[in-house]
Structure 1
Amino acid sequence: MNELILLERRAPRNPIRLMYRVYKYVLPEVDAELKRWRQKAEAIPDEELRTQALASMDAKRFHCEGGAVYGAANLEQRHVLIPLIVALQTISDYLDNLCDRSTSLDPDDFRLLHQSMLDAVDPGSELSDYYALRSEREDGGYLHALVRTCQSCVSMLPAYDKVKQQVTELVGLYCDLQVHKHIRKDLREPHLLHWWEQNRSRYPHLQWNEFAAATGSTLGMFMLFLAATHPELKDQHADSIRNAYFPHVCGLHIMLDYLIDQEEDREGGDLNFCNYYDNQGMLEERISGIVSNAREDVQRLPASQFHRMIIEGLLALYLSDPKVSSQEDVKRISKRLMKRSPMTRVFFWLNSMWIRAKQS
């Protein structure tokens, strides 16, 4: 893995260096990208599409900020990585809002909407009318612009051909999840369980909800984008990265996201993958196990300390969220997960609190 080692040597090796790059480069450049997309979103003619586009940026800004940390691992290529990560994450968050609060329950509609993500990671794909199966259609070219930005950026990654298959696989799983979990409520679990039966032989240690959660993460895609900035990347490197991130790093990401959203999802009637355990103790035990597996998986990657910082950063980011303090069960689990935390996680927890306070 000599080529990957050369790439990873550019990654920050300690939390202070990482956060220096985050404050100096990542946050300002993410802010600039989001301002640009916000201007386009404000010009969307259809009121519902405009509302959901703006709401996704308001409520889920931290998804772009967190994902763009991969741009800090190769500053020389951040002019490609940060716009790419922000654009793809913005598509993801926008479509999630459209489907969560949809006027439709049509799986074909959701599938067509998410075809935009598959097209975004394939520079040779022709763009489609992604709104063709819904009544709200006039977005002033907003979604097409996001897709074209992604296509342009992946075309600039020198080794994208080496990671394209793995990226497409992860995006495909993500799209499948979005279709299954947003259809009619009485059909969601049967469809998700049938999907799990098609995949469970590869991940027999997971429960169905944990597999589904892992497919909802974009982190594996972002890490593959980072790897593709090195021109001499080999095919086997892409497989190693994909297997190191999926399912445990990706699963941890989304299980934490669902953990803090339990009350919000109950109120909205939305499916939440943390609700499929016998009790909160089992939930805590399963998340703790995923943390351990994620740490073990990334040890196989060069510069594993960078990936360990990603894991500790995920825990710090989500467990410091204001939503935690308003949910007693979540607060208890958060305290137990933070108990005897390494100093790295505490450092990221304090920085997460600082960033939120500064933006509020």
Structure 2
Amino acid sequence: MGVSLKDIAQRAGVSLATVSNVVNGYRPVGERTRQRVQQAVDELGYTPNLSARHLRRGRTGLIALAIPELTNPYFAELADMAIREAAGLGYTLLMENTAAERGEELTLLDGAQRHIIDGLILSPVAIGREEVLARRARMPLVLIGEGVYDVPYDHVAIDNVAASRTATAHLVALGRRRIAFVGAPPGDDRQSAHLRIRGYREALAVAGIPFDLRLVASTEQFGRADGEHAMRHLLTLDSPPDAVLAYNDLTAIGALRALTRAGVRVPDDVAVVGIDDIEEGRFSNPTLTTVAPDKREIGRSAVRRLVARIEGEQGPPTHLQPAFHLVERESTGPRPSVAPRRRIRGYRG
């Protein structure tokens, strides 16, 4: 049999209500009493029954994180942060992959799982502001990313304009003047790609560099193959770029592959910057300079805001902008010196 609150009360010499207040944080308890209860908890090895606690409060203890692409390393890393934060707050986080499909996002938004989960964190891509405003579900909702703005829900996203402006300014400071942007899909000009283009254009304007539409390479998606294809196109221009800002690290890594296959030296001939700071960029060849959003803070803030709403916090929506910083690596700077190659002898059995 597991250890009960009654067992703890007997060991600590206090009432059952006092133990409940300490374990569940219902009411303030004197420090000496709290220490006695905590000592009894530690000695008996008590583990709270979170499922029972949530059920007593009319909840399931489950929350969901819905993202557009689970195989994207950025979202995988973000999900890991959110899972850890949820567990620390006594909740279990379920993953939903919407595949950036409108129907999937609307289904979740309208509360298809409202009897299973207590709240939803959603990264919308295919739906817009009007659809979010028209949602029928009443369970708590927190938005992440840049797909939807100006809605009465908590929202967590970095400042994409400033992030892109920082990356472009870095390339300008290196003396680059024909700076391309890879990853510009058609559609809502408030989505993250268009926000990043805005920051890119602002940095060019500050530097006195004319904007050249030919240097903006469109992509349907934001994967490695999209970046490679767009970079091949840019290399066919009469005056190809001497630097590239990619929408994200995946498109930047695809661009690096196209440059390598074309015999273009990075960063000597073309410097490359991505956005997201995924682990793959730390092992690419060359390693990738990138803008690193605080993924830990994004995941933590989104989960904390959702749990606060689930547990009854009222008030106007909160719009949070976690920090970011530039990480300089080989794709915009000198490579480290390389020792002379050693001849590796083949194995002889």
Q: Give the TM interval when normalised to the shorter protein.
A: under 0.3
Larger-Rg structure = 2
Question: What's the TM-score once normalised by structure 1's chain length?
Answer: 0.22
Higher normalized helix content (fraction of residues)? 1
Tell me which of the two structures has the higher relative contact order, counting C-alpha pairs closer than 8 angstroms and 6 or more residues apart. Answer: 1
Higher normalized strand content (fraction of residues)? 2
